[in-house]
Chain A
Amino acid sequence: MKLKNFFLMLMFVFAALSVSVQASEHAQEKVTQEQAAQESTYEPKGIGHMLASFYGTTGLKAILEPHEGVTNGEGEEMSLFAQGWGRVMMFAIIFLLFYLAIAKGFEPLLLLPIAFGGLLANIPIANMTSEHGMLGIIYNMGIANEFFPLLIFMGVGAMTDFGPLLSRPKTALLGGAAQFGIFGSLVGAAALSQYTGMVDFTLKQCSAISIIGGADGPTSIFIASALAPELLGAIAVAAYSYMALVPVIQPPIMRALTSKEERQIVMKTTRKVNKLEKLLFPLVVIVMTLLILPDATPLIGAFAFGNFAKESGVVDRLSNEMQNSLINIVTIFLGLGVGSKLASDKFLVMETLGIMIIGLLAFAAGTAAGVLMAKLMNKYSDEPINPLIGAAGVSAVPMAARVVSKVGSEEKPGNILLMHAMGPNVAGVIGSAVAAGVLLSIFK
C-alpha cells in the first residue's frame, strides 16, 4: 500500500517537472527574442558619453537645471521654480517637520510619516506620486476615496470612554460651542479671499480649510479629500501641527477670558456610570445621526462601531485590533498618502500661507467659544462648572483635556479637572463630525 503511494507521488513529481521544464524553455525563447530586440536599438557608446547621459538621469541635474515640459505625478506640467528651488525649499520644510516631530514631540505619529511622504514626493524623476508610484498607490487606495480617515475614526471610537460625558451630559454643549472655531474661520477664510485678494478660495475650499477648527485630524482629512483635495497637504499639516501646539495656543486664551476665581472653581466628583448606558450610547448617537444628519454617517458610524465593539465587552479581540494594529497600519498609510500632497508644486503656493493663518484663527476661536459657553453655563447652572473645561470642547482628544487639567492645577494645586474636561472633549469629536456632516450636506 505504502509502495503504491510512493510510486504515485513519484509520478506526480515527474509530471510537474516536465511541465516546468517546458515552461522554462518557453521563457528562454522569449528572453532571447527580447535580447535581440534590445541589441538592435542599443548602440555602443564611449565612457564619456555614458557618464554624460547618466548625469542626465540624476536628481542633481533635475534640480539644478529645471526645464520645460517636466510633469508631476498627475501628468500636469511643473513650473521651473517648483522643479528647482521649490524642491530645495520643501526639503527644508520637511526637515523642520522632522525636527518638530522628533525633537519637540509634535504629534510624531503623524507628522513623521507625513514629512517622510513629503520627502519622497519631492524626489525628482522617481515620480512617486504618479498612479503607479508608491505614494500614488497609497493615496488612491485610501485617501482619494476618504477610506483611511474612517478607519482611524473607528480606532478612536474603540479608544474613547464616554463615561465622563454620560455622568454629566450637559457638558456636551461645550463641545458644540467649540465648533464655532469651524464656522467662525469659515467666515474668516471667505473674508480673506474676498477682501484681501491674497488668495482666491472658493466656498468649497473655505469649508475644507475651516474644518481645521474642529481640531480633529481624521475629520479634516476626510472633508479635505471630499471638498478640496488640492489643498489636502496643507490642511493636514496645519491641522496636525496646530493640534500639537494646543498646549501653546490654548492657555493664554483660557486665562484671558476667565477670572482667577473662576479658574479655581472645584467641580463635584462625577457619578458612576452604569455599563448599560455606555453600551447604549453609540446606538443612541447612530439613531440621532440617522434622523438628523445622514451625511455625517461615515464618520459617526465608524466611530460608533468602534465604541460599541469596545463597550460590548464580548469582542475584545476586535476592539483591541482596532485600537492597536489596525490604527497603526492605517496611520502609516495615511501619513505617507497625505505626504504625497507635499510636492513642491502643490504646497508652495499662497494658499498654504492662508490656510496656516486661518487654521490658527480657527483654533483660537474654538477655544474662546468653548470657554465663554462654559462661563455662561457656570452662571446658570445649579452646580459649579469651571469655565476652563470649555476649552476642551475643541476635540484634539486627549490633549485639550490634559491642557485644561494642567492650567487648572496651576491655579489651584490639587484641583484635578481631567475627568471633567474629558466630557466636553469627547463631545467635541461628535460635534466636529456633525459640523463636517453639515458642510458635506451643503455641497451635495
Chain B
Amino acid sequence: MEIDLVGESLKFMVLGMIVVFVFLAVLVQLMKLQAKLIEKYFPEKEPAPVTAKPAVSVVDDKSKMAAIIAAITELKKTKS
C-alpha cells in the first residue's frame, strides 16, 4: 500500500509541536516555581560577600607578610 506521505507528516507535525510546546510550557512553570521557592528559602546574600571580602584579604595579607618575613629570616640564618 502506498503511504500518504503528506498525511503522515502532518500527523508528525501535530504530535511534534504539541510535545515541544507542552515540554517547554511545563518547563516555564517549573522555572517560575523554582525562582519563587529559591527567592523565599535561599535568598542570595548580595551585600555580605562584598563587605566580608576586604577583611579577609587584609588578614590574608598580614599572615602572608608574616610568612614571608619568617621565610627570609630563616634563609638568612641558614646562609650565615
Q: Kindly identify which residue among B15, B24, B32, B44 contacts A176, using a CB–CB cutoff of 8 Å.
A: B24
Among A169, A427, A430, A438, which residue has its beta carbon within 8 angstroms of that of B32? A169
Alpha-carbon distance A431/B27, docked complex (angstroms): 11
Q: Is B6's CB within 8 Å of the partner chain A?
A: yes
State the interface size on chain B (CB cutoff 8 A). 32
A280, B24: Cα distance in complex, Å:
16
Q: Are A203 and B19 in contact (CB under 8 A)?
A: no
Report A-chain residues with C-beta under 8 Å of the C-beta of B19.
Answer: 292-293, 434-435, 438
Report whether B9 and A186 are in contact in the complex, using a CB–CB cutoff of 8 Å.
yes
B38-49: contact bitstring with A at CB < 8 Å (1 yes, 0 no)? 110011100000
Q: Is B25 an interface residue (CB 8 A)?
A: yes
Complex: A187 Cα to B9 Cα, angstroms? 5
Q: B62 → chain A, closest Cβ, in Å?
A: 28
Q: Which A residues, 161 to 196, have Cβ-Cβ distances below 8 Å to chain B?
A: 165-166, 169-170, 172-173, 175-176, 179-180, 182-184, 186-187, 189-191, 193-195
Main secondary structure of the interface of B (DSSP, over half): helix
Residues of A within 8 A of B4 (CB): 194
CB-nearest residue of chain A relative to B18?
A438
Given A191-B6, A274-B38, A277-B35: A173 in contact with B13 (beta carbons within 8 A): no
A–B pairs, 25, beta carbons within 8 Å: A166-B35, A169-B31, A173-B25, A173-B28, A179-B17, A184-B13, A186-B12, A187-B6, A187-B9, A189-B9, A190-B5, A190-B6, A207-B12, A274-B42, A276-B38, A280-B34, A284-B31, A288-B30, A292-B19, A430-B23, A430-B24, A434-B20, A435-B16, A435-B19, A439-B12
Known: A184-B13, A438-B19. 14 other contacts (CB 8 A): A166-B35, A172-B24, A172-B27, A176-B25, A179-B20, A190-B5, A203-B12, A274-B42, A276-B38, A280-B34, A292-B19, A292-B26, A293-B23, A427-B24
A281-B31 contact in complex given A191-B6, A288-B23, C-beta closer than 8 Å? yes
Q: Which one of A165, A183, A190, A275 lies within 8 Å of B8 (CB-CB)?
A: A190
Complex contacts, B8 vs chain A, CB 8 Å: 190, 203
List residues of A whose CB falls within 8 A of some B CB.
165-166, 169-170, 172-173, 175-176, 179-180, 182-184, 186-187, 189-191, 193-195, 201, 203, 206-207, 273-277, 280-281, 284-285, 288, 292-293, 427, 430-431, 434-435, 438-439, 442
Chain A: CB-nearest residue to B7? A190
Q: In the complex, are the beta carbons of A172 and B38 less than 8 A apart?
A: no
Q: Could you tell me the distance in whole angstroms from the C-beta of A130 to the nearest C-beta in chain B?
A: 34
Shortest C-beta distance, A32 to chain B (Å), equals 66
Which of B3, B8, B24, B25 gathers the greatest number of chain A CB atoms within 10 Å?
B24
CB distance from B45 to the nearest CB of A (A): 11
User: Are B24 and A203 in touch, CB under 8 angstroms?
Assistant: no
- A180 near B28 with CB under 8 A, answer no
Question: Given that A183-B16, A288-B26 are known contacts, is A274 also in contact with B44, CB under 8 Å in the complex?
Answer: yes
Q: Find chain A residues with CB under 8 A from B25 CB.
A: 173, 176
* Residue pair A173, B42 in contact (C-beta under 8 Å): no
Let me know if A194 and B27 touch, CB within 8 A: no
Given contacts A275-B44, A276-B42, are A183 and B13 in contact (CB under 8 A)? Answer: yes
Question: Do B44 and A434 have beta carbons less than 8 Å apart?
Answer: no
Give residues in B with beta carbon < 8 Å to A.
3-6, 8-10, 12-13, 15-17, 19-28, 30-32, 34-35, 38-39, 42-44
Inter-chain contacts of B5 with A (CB < 8 A): 190-191, 193-194, 201, 203, 206
Q: How far is the CA of A291 from the CA of B19 in the complex (A)?
A: 12
C-alpha gap A427/B23 in the complex (Å) = 11
Chain A residue at minimal CB-CB distance from B13 = A183
In the bound complex, what is the Cα–Cα distance between A275 and B49 (angstroms)? 14
**Residue picked from A184, A274, A430, most chain B C-beta under 10 Å:** A274
Which residues of B are found within 8 Å of A172, using beta-carbon distances?
24, 27-28, 31
Closest 4 CB pairs of A and B: A183-B13, A190-B5, A169-B31, A190-B9
Interface centre among B8, B12, B15, B23 (most CB of A within 10 A): B23
Name the CB-closest residue of B to A289.
B23
Q: CA A372 – CA B5 in complex, angstroms?
A: 27
A174 (CB) vs chain B CBs: closest residue: B24
Check if A430 sits within 8 Å of B27, measured CB to CB: yes
Give every chain B residue within 8 A of A193 (Cβ-Cβ).
5
Return the chain B residue nearest A194 by Cβ.
B5
- Report whether B17 and A183 are in contact in the complex, using a CB–CB cutoff of 8 Å: yes
B38 touches A277 (CB 8 A): yes
Looking at the assembled complex, report how far the CB atom of B50 sits from the nearest CB atom of chain A, in whole angstroms. 14
A284 to B23, CA, bound (A): 12
A436 to B, closest residue via Cβ: B16
* CA A176 to CA B24, docked complex, whole Å: 7
